[in-house]
């Protein structure tokens, strides 16, 4: 005991030691100086005067040590005593302790779990060297209000050569190449990069080397760098991998090295990928020399030391102006520079912060709830406190005791909350929506645990304050005079009512937010995409481009494949298209209406482009409104034809029939082909359910073939069966062609709303927790008030009040609380849901129906919570009530 | 530590009372002044070990019975002046009463002779 005390004393003393040690030293010095001066006046020689003063004072060191030990051990002993007492008090009322701990665990757990996502996505810096220097380069047309498009090759070259703000500039393009020779052929995510890519991110390879500038020269030997994931899954983690070959699109690349798993290309989620020089890419290498400007390249740069983004932007403005003078196609385009992190987290920031705010509200409700419980307890303990005050305990001492109790609760609840967060993060990490930029794994680490600690300590201070304030106002004499009756001050009663009102108000805010998201989500699911997705299965077939290098081969292969599928029982309703609506990224192309006056410079018309087989419209159930759909007679050798969507027809041919008119457009390099409009089809949601259909152009696949296509089959068979049949048919033609991404269309559309679903489910969950906590809080307040007023109720009944009247009395009291909470909550929601507006679809931030439902729901739950104590009040026996006390 | 404590407690308690009383009588005082005053009145009780006064002053200040601020001493040195707070005044009254009571009881106890009990 003694050793432990001394050891504890040493720790405890450090906090106060500095301050008081300094004071003590000062005082001792001052005292000795005064005493010496007096001794001098008395006639002593200087040395003797000082010596006598010191002698008279006593052993300075001993005094200091003794004082320190006393201060520290007193402080610690008080703490230990308070803790012991707090543990005893909690153990004495296990029900209260459990409810309080669970409430806090819910609040802290939800907060910590969301924080682990916020931490991984928003807070932790990107895992690159000096990530603050990395910027994303883009182009946009300020006049059209667009931004964030890729760079054209010319803009990239100009920035690389003329900009002095950047230490390095690198561009990349991403697509899938066919990996063969290592098991089942696969679509491999391939990042084609300019030579500076790896030096820009300053990463070292795990094995071998990265790409050198020489590898980027035209005519250099083809090399590739593998990701660690790919190296492990398909190459057996071979340590001698450098120098071996990998076959991509039937072409052999020498493996230069392996990148560690923690290096990811921005915007690429796959852990299995391969990097090759852009010059060696079967598709993009050709795009560098194309005369016309397409904005296809994602580009990054590293700022030089000390160069601000503003300076880089100013310089890029000049570079862009110079470029526009040289190349007319760049007219109207502007170069954008944004911090890389900002660009990466851009889309998820708002919903994440929203969820974070929501759990903050849940935690506040939890705190209010515990504060209420503690207040109730403090009221029934007021006599105990009064006795302590009467026995000489200072208000500070009492406050310290009460705060120790709430801190203990905070620690217990916080620990349970951290555990809850750990469990839920572990369970949910794999179910996070795919759109989340996961540079860092979402997990409970030191920072997250620290956050949980701060939350629980902060929360315990917050709810611990309520009983302290209550106790500070209490008058010990009044309590002692009142005898055994548990009294309470008016102040603490008001405080408790205010807390209940606040809980209801916070719950209203959360429920309103959840309700709005829920209605948005329902609207989203109710959107008719314009095509019939039920019983559709799709699979992606990709042709290796070095072997199937031209349109004739693509066409020949797909013709054979479609013929085989049509011959197959159960698969004859098959079509192919590139790209599929919602599932694939839309391809937007410029077009010109033949015969119209030329548009002013810098102005272009664009529409989403689809290349489809004749059966596509029948299989997808896209209605034909005018003219005809494609026929097998539309071939490469017949005049080019096109279909347009209703919106395009309405917008650009408002007063005439578009049939027979010609549009000039096409996928590069066929962009100058004039095509006759042969029909108009209905609009479909091709980008996303949430986005209104825009103008669309369709061309026959036979006239615009690609090196791969999405096969869509309408069939009563399951996805696995249809996928297997498509794979079998494909592999009978060529076993080296990968068939991937097999899924049903309903599934795929479902997956496209995973992110709104995620936030809706989470906010709904938080809303439910809030509702539950608010109900518990209200129940607590009302039932305590009934218990306190038992005597009064008995008296009223003795004087003739009916049971119904008593019930009305109790329910009326809780109705007042709920109404006040509703009023406050709706006002707060009107302000706060404004932040939601970008996430809403089909509902306004002020949606009367949602608010009405929330109000009704809360009132109903509150009435149930209040009804239980009200019934107890009705059953009060006046005789018993009056006799007791 | 344990066997020494009761003795120092008694001493310190007494000393604290003396400090409070001194401040009540003299008004704000610096440490040296308090020490001198106690020395004058109590004779040699503190002459041995003036230093023990300062821990008591700090402790009383921590407990809120006295407060301190910087001021200038008679011969213009910077010194910390202690002053009784309202709480300290109340504490002094309470302890004085208690002390008187205890003293009266002990006095009567000592004054009692054997025949008083018969």
pLDDT(A484) > 60: no
Looking at CA atoms only, how far is residue B31 from chain A in angstroms? 7
pLDDT tens by residue, A773-806: 888 888 888 888 888 788 888 888 888 888 888 8
| pLDDT band for position A3 (cuts 50, 70, 90) | very low
- Which of A211-215, A597-601, B8-12 has the highest average model confidence (pLDDT)? A211-215
- Which of A429-433, A467-471, B37-41 has the highest average model confidence (pLDDT)? B37-41
pTM for the complete prediction? 0.71
Q: Is the dihedral of CA A146, A148, A154, A157 positive or negative?
A: positive
| pLDDT band for position A18 (cuts 50, 70, 90) | low
Mutate to test the interface with B, among A10, A16, A19, A56 (most CBs of B within 10 A): A56
pLDDT(A671) > 70: yes
Residue A4: list chain B partners with CB under 8 A.
none
**Cis peptide preceding A579, ω within 30 of 0:** yes
What integer pLDDT is reported at residue A486 of this predicted model? 45
CA distance linking residue A244 with residue A255, whole number of Å = 6
Summarize the confidence of residues A483-497 as an average pLDDT. Answer: 63
CB contact under 8 A, A66 and B8: yes
DSSP 8-class letter at A126: P
Residues A296 and A330: beta-carbon distance below 8 Å? no
Least confident of A759-768, A832-841, B70-79: B70-79
Summarize the confidence of residues A508-525 as an average pLDDT. Answer: 92
CB contact under 8 A, B49 and A66: no
CB contact under 8 A, B32 and A20: no
Residue A225, SS3 per DSSP:
strand
Mutate to test the interface with A, among B51, B61, B72, B98 (most CBs of A within 10 A): B51
CB contact under 8 A, A24 and B58: yes
pLDDT tens by residue, A25-80: 888 888 888 888 888 888 888 888 888 888 888 777 777 777 777 777 777 888 88
pLDDT(B4) > 50: no
Residue B50: list chain A partners with CB under 8 A.
31, 35, 56-58
Residue A69: list chain B partners with CB under 8 A.
1
CA-to-CA dists, residue B17 to A156, A741, B8, angstroms? 85, 88, 14
Question: Which residues of B make CB contacts under 8 Å with A?
Answer: 1-2, 8, 30-32, 35, 47-52, 54-55, 57-59, 62-64, 73, 75, 77-80
Q: Which one has a higher pLDDT value, A76 or A116?
A: A116
pLDDT tens by residue, A382-392: 777 777 777 76
| pLDDT band for position B62 (cuts 50, 70, 90) | confident
CB contact under 8 A, B32 and A31: yes
Averaged confidence pLDDT in chain A? 85
CA distance linking residue A656 with residue A22, whole number of Å = 94
pLDDT tens by residue, A257-313: 999 988 888 877 777 889 999 998 877 887 777 655 578 889 999 999 989 999 999
Looking at chain B, which residue has its C-alpha nearest residue A36?
B32
Looking at CA atoms only, how far is residue B25 from chain A in angstroms? 21
Chain-centre distance for alpha carbon A215: 39
Is beta strand A223-227 parallel, antiparallel or unpaired with respect to A166-180? unpaired
Instruction: Find residue A576's DSSP bridge partners.
Output: A711
Looking at chain A, which residue has its C-alpha nearest residue B35?
A31
DSSP 8-class letter at A506: H
What integer pLDDT is reported at residue B42 of this predicted model? 73
CB contact under 8 A, A27 and B80: yes
Looking at chain B, which residue has its C-alpha nearest residue A16?
B62
Which among B32, B52, B59 is the nearest to A30, CB-wise?
Answer: B32
pLDDT(A182) > 90: no
CB contact under 8 A, A27 and B54: yes
With 0-12 CB in 10 A as exposed, 13-18 as middle and 19+ as buried, what is A521? buried
Summarize the confidence of residues A602-619 as an average pLDDT. Answer: 90
CB atoms < 10 A from the CB of A52, how many?
16
Least confident of A17-31, A142-156, A645-659: A17-31
Please determine, for the modelled complex, whether the ipTM score is greater than 0.85.
no
| Dihedral pair phi/psi, residue B4, rounded to 5° | -85, -25
Residue B79: list chain A partners with CB under 8 A.
30, 34
Instruction: Find residue A612's DSSP bridge partners.
Output: A577, A700
CB contact under 8 A, B52 and A58: yes
Residue A63: list chain B partners with CB under 8 A.
51-52, 54-55
Looking at CA atoms only, how far is residue A48 from chain B in angstroms? 17
| pLDDT band for position A642 (cuts 50, 70, 90) | very high
pLDDT(A576) > 70: yes
CB contact under 8 A, B31 and A26: no
pLDDT(A683) > 80: yes
- Extract the tokens encoding A453: 């600690």
Summarize the confidence of residues A140-152 as an average pLDDT. Answer: 81
Q: How many residue pairs bridge chain A and chain B with CB atoms within 8 Å of each other?
A: 66
| pLDDT band for position A15 (cuts 50, 70, 90) | very low
pLDDT tens by residue, A533-562: 888 999 988 887 777 878 889 999 999 999
Which residues, other chains included, contact A874 with Cβ-Cβ below 8 Å and sequence gap of 6+?
Answer: A803, A804, A806, A807
CB contact under 8 A, B54 and A56: no
Query: Tokens 């001052």 label which residue?
Result: A30
| pLDDT band for position A602 (cuts 50, 70, 90) | low
Chain-centre distance for alpha carbon A368: 27
Segments of A278-319 assigned E as strands: 298-303
Looking at CA atoms only, how far is residue A37 from chain B in angstroms? 10
What integer pLDDT is reported at residue A491 of this predicted model? 66
Summarize the confidence of residues A872-881 as an average pLDDT. Answer: 80
What integer pLDDT is reported at residue A223 of this predicted model? 94
DSSP 8-class letter at A687: S
Least confident of A184-198, A320-334, A638-652, A721-735: A320-334
Summarize the confidence of residues A161-166 as an average pLDDT. Answer: 90
What integer pLDDT is reported at residue A634 of this predicted model? 93
């Amino acid at each position: 005991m003694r050793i432990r005390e001394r050891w504890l004393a040493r720790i405890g003393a450090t906090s106060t030691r500095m301050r008081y040690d300094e004071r003590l030293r000062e005082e001792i010095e001052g005292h000795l100086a005064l005493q010496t001066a007096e001794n001098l006046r008395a006639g002593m020689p200087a040395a003797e005067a000082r010596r006598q003063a010191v002698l008279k004072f006593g052993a300075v060191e001993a005094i200091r040590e003794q004082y320190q030990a006393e201060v520290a051990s007193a402080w610690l002993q008080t703490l230990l005593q308070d803790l012991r007492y707090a543990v005893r008090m909690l153990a004495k009322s296990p029900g209260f302790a459990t409810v309080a701990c669970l409430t806090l665990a819910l609040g802290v757990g939800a907060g910590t779990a969301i924080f682990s996502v916020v931490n991984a996505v928003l807070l932790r810096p990107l895992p690159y060297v000096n990530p603050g220097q990395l910027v994303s380069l883009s182009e946009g047309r300020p006049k059209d209000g667009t931004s964030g498009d890729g760079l054209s090759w010319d803009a990239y070259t100009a920035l690389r050569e003329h900009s002095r703000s950047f230490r390095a500039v690198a561009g990349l393009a991403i697509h899938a190449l066919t990996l063969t020779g290592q098991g089942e052929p696969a679509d491999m995510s391939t990042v084609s990069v300019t030579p500076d890519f790896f030096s820009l991110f300053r990463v070292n390879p795990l094995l071998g080397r990265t790409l050198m500038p020489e590898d980027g020269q035209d005519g250099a030997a083809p090399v590739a760098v593998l990701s660690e994931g790919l190296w492990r899954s398909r190459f057996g983690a071979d340590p001698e991998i450098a120098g071996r070959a990998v076959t991509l699109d039937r072409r052999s690349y020498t493996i230069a090295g392996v990148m560690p798993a923690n290096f990811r290309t921005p915007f690429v989620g796959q852990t299995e990928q391969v990097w090759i020089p852009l010059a060696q890419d079967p598709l993009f290498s050709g795009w560098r020399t194309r005369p016309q400007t397409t904005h296809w390249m994602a580009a990054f740069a590293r700022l030089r030391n000390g160069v601000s983004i503003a300076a880089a932007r100013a310089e890029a403005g000049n570079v862009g102006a110079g470029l526009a003078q040289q190349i007319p196609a760049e007219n109207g385009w502007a170069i954008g520079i944004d911090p890389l992190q900002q660009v990466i987290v851009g889309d998820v920031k708002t919903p994440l912060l929203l969820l974070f705010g929501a759990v903050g509200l849940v935690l506040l409700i939890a705190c209010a709830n515990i504060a209420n419980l503690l207040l109730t307890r403090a009221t029934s303990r007021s006599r105990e406190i009064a006795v302590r005050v009467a026995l000489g305990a200072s208000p500070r001492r009492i406050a310290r005791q009460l705060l120790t109790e709430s801190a203990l609760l905070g620690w217990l609840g916080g620990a349970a909350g951290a555990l809850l967060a750990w469990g839920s993060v572990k369970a949910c990490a794999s179910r996070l929506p795919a759109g989340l930029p996961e540079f860092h794994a979402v997990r409970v680490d030191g920072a997250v645990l620290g956050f949980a600690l701060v939350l629980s300590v902060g929360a315990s201070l917050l709810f611990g304050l309520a009983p302290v304030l209550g106790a500070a106002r209490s008058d010990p004499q009044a309590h002692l005079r009142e005898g055994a009756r548990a009294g309470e001050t008016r102040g603490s009663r008001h405080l408790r009512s205010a807390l209940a009102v606040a809980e209801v108000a916070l719950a209203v805010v959360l429920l309103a937010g959840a309700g709005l998201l829920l209605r948005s989500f329902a609207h989203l699911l109710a959107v008719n995409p314009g095509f019939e997705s039920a019983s559709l299965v799709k699979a992606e077939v990709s042709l290796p481009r070095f072997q199937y290098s031209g349109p004739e081969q693509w066409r020949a292969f797909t013709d054979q494949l479609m013929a085989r599928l049509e011959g197959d029982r159960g698969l004859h309703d098959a079509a192919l298209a590139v790209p599929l609506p919602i599932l694939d990224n839309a391809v937007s192309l410029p077009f010109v209406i033949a015969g119209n006056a030329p548009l002013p410079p810098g102005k272009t018309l664009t529409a989403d482009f689809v290349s489809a087989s004749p059966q596509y419209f029948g299989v997808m159930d896209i209605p034909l409104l005018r003219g005809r759909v494609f026929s097998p007679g539309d071939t490469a050798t017949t005049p080019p034809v096109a279909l347009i969507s209703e919106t395009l027809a309405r917008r650009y041919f408002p007063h005439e029939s578009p049939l027979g008119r010609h549009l000039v457009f096409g996928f590069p390099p066929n962009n100058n082909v004039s095509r006759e409009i042969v029909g108009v089809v209905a609009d479909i949601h091709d980008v996303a359910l949430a986005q209104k259909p825009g103008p669309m152009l369709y061309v026959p696949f036979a006239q615009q073939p690609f090196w791969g296509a999405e096969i869509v089959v309408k069939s009563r068979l399951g996805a696995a069966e249809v996928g297997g049949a498509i794979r079998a048919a494909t592999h009978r033609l060529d076993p080296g062609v990968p068939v991937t991404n097999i899924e049903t269309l309903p599934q795929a559309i479902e997956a496209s709303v995973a992110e709104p679903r995620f936030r809706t489910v989470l906010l709904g969950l938080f809303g439910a927790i809030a509702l539950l906590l608010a109900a518990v809080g209200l129940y607590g307040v009302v039932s305590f008030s009934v218990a306190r007023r038992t005597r009064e109720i008995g008296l009223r009944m003795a004087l003739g009040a009916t049971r119904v009247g008593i019930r009305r009395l109790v329910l009326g009291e809780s109705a007042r609380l709920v109404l006040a909470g509703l009023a406050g909550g709706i006002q707060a929601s009107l302000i706060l849901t404004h932040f939601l507006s970008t996430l809403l679809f089909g509902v306004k931030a002020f949606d009367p129906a949602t608010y009405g439902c929330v109000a009704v729901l809360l009132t109903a739950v509150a009435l149930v919570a209040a009804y239980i104590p009200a019934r107890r009040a009705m059953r009060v026996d006046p005789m018993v009530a009056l006799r007791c006390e | 530590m344990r066997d020494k404590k009761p003795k120092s407690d008694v001493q310190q308690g007494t000393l604290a009372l003396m400090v409070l009383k001194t401040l009540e009588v003299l008004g704000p005082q610096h440490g040296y002044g308090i020490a001198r005053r106690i020395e004058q009145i109590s004779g040699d009780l503190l002459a041995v070990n003036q230093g023990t006064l300062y821990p008591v002053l700090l402790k009383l200040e921590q407990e809120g019975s006295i407060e301190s601020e910087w001021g200038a001493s008679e011969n213009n040195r910077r010194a910390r002046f202690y002053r009784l707070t309202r709480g300290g005044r109340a504490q002094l009254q309470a302890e004085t009463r208690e002390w008187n009571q205890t003293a009266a009881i002990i006095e009567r106890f000592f004054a009692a002779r054997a025949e008083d009990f018969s």
